[in-house]
Amino acid sequence: MNRLLKLTLLYLFPSVLIAQTPTPGPGAPIVSIPSVQALIALAKENNPDYRVAQHRTLAEYARIGPAGALPDPQISFGIHKSPLQHVAITGGHDTYDISKLSGLSGTLPGMTEYSMSVGQGLPWPGKLAAREDVARQSLERSEIGKYETALALESEVMASCLELLVIQTRMELLEAQLSYWKTTEGIINARLDQGGSSTGDAIQAMQEQSRLRLRLLELDNQMQDQKEMLNQLTVSQPDSPIELGTSILNIALPEPPGEVELLNDLKARNPEWLGSMIDIKIADTSVHSAKMDRYPDFWTGAGISKAGSMPIAWRAEFGVTLPIWIGRKQSKVVARAQAERNTAEYVQAGLALTLATKSRERARAWKLADTTIRLYKTELIPQGEAALEILIARFQNGGASFSSMIETLNALLKDRENSLDAVAQIHRIAILQHSASLDAVSRTSTPNSPKIPISDSGTMQMSAHVN
């Protein structure tokens, strides 16, 4: 009953019976959205991958008891049937003179003997404790696996929500651009009546609007894909509505963290790092357990027997194994365990280098994205908007060419989308850090969105053109 209660508690509240999982980090900014929190909770409740990790933990917990238990005792029953025997006394060369009895004979009746014996194997003191320690530490390793699955599931939900928010905001930017082009088309039509514009300008303005509508259709299709992916992660119906209720531009962004801060966070929460530490503990315990196997095990037993009218007889036994093949068996096991321990140590050393590299990479990428956002928000986008207002006024009066309108409108859209990409990049890095993953920072933006253009000389092309 007590064991059943423990298993139930482990399934419902794993932290009650096993080591606590690492304390969650500060979290990605996107987690502040209530709808994202609800989707993460729903995914953990319904997603089969998380359930698999839970049941693997249950399976590891169930190994602890058997690992530290004594071998099953043995009980045996026996029956021995003695046949009828004829006995004759003959002369001999003994000291005693039995010649007077020589020639006598007799018959011994058959006899049935019943026996019962019990026995118990007794491992060398400390062997069972060492094996139980290995099983207990394997449970800790399994818990890290469940923790890693939870982080991965959270990250998938957050990444999908992020892409959905990016697509929605990009569509808003394209709608605003479409509005600019409608205004421009109206100006062109007005100038056509006055002979200030050509029919080619009007056709080109309509083409630009058609291209924007085509991108909107593509983005709408991508938005449906992201919603379906979220429904798949939460095990919901594919057409279940998903509303995040905010814009990515309204989410406050944290200050760029430093390399040391990111490294300390990874070492505190990265599943591979935590698993490597437990692997070393398991290897140490396995080496100790293998060395304990060099010692012999014991066996003890007792039994009783009853034959006919004879009184009950008893016996006691004690035995010990003879580990005479240590060189071929136990010593090889110890050597293998020691090699596995060394392997775990080298793996951890390699992970330490990887964590340091990823921390430096993320710190640089985060700082670059933050600086890029500030540059766009404070300089490039305000300058582009001001240049566009001036250019529209000049275009109405015939003081600016249609080609300059095209360049300025496209430059402003590109700057706005590049700023959006930089915001999304910070969120992607934050999600990677939240998941304590060792994946590389993605340098790709949402499909069909332009990247920050880089000239051949390596300088950013971010200028608006005004004639």
Per-position DSSP letters for 315-380, written without gaps between them = EEEEEE---TTTTTTHHHHHHHHHHHHHHHHHHHHHHHHHHHHHHHHHHHHHHHHHHHHHHIIIII
pLDDT tens digits for range 50-81: 888 888 889 888 888 888 888 889 999 988 88
Average pLDDT over residues 133-161: 90
pLDDT number for residue 453? 32
pLDDT tens digits for range 270-288: 999 999 999 899 888 888 8
Share of the chain above pLDDT 90, in %: 36
pLDDT number for residue 99? 54
Rounded CA-CA distance 110/247 in Å is: 99
pLDDT number for residue 179? 92
Is CATH 1.20.1600.10 correct for 30-69+125-434? Answer: yes
Place of tokens 């605003």: 176
Higher pLDDT, 212 or 82: 212
Q: Does 20 have pLDDT greater than 60? A: no
Of the pLDDT bands very low, low, confident and very high (cuts 50, 70, 90), residue 328 is confident
Task: Answer whether 192's CB lies under 8 Å from 255's CB.
Answer: no
Rounded CA-CA distance 239/225 in Å is: 11
pLDDT number for residue 421? 95
Higher pLDDT, 68 or 2: 68
Mean pLDDT over all residues of the chain? 82
pLDDT tens digits for range 443-465: 544 433 333 332 333 333 333 33
Average pLDDT over residues 104-124: 81
Apex 465 CA angle, 462 and 466, nearest 5: 150
* Strands of the sheet with 111-122, listed across from one edge: 74-82, 111-122, 298-307, 313-320
